[in-house]
Amino acid sequence: MTGRVLVVEDDDQVRASFAQTLRDAGFEVDVAEDGERGLDHLNQPGVTYRVVLVDAMLPGIDGAAMLRAAGPERLADTGVLLLSGAPDALAHRLDGLTVTPLSKPIAPQALVAAVQAASTRGG
pLDDT in tens, 33-62: 999 999 999 999 999 999 999 999 999 899
| pLDDT higher than threshold 90 for residue 21 | yes
Kindly report the length of the chain.
123
As a whole number of angstroms, the distance between CA 96 and CA 109 comes to: 29
The pairing of strands 93-94 and 97-103 is antiparallel
Residue 38 near residue 32, CB atoms below 8 Å: yes
CB atoms within 10 A of CB 49: 25
Structure confidence by residue, pLDDT tens digits, 61-105: 999 899 999 988 889 889 999 998 755 555 555 666 778 888 888
* pTM for this entry: 0.91
Alpha-helical (H) ranges within the chain are 12-24, 35-42, 63-74, 108-121
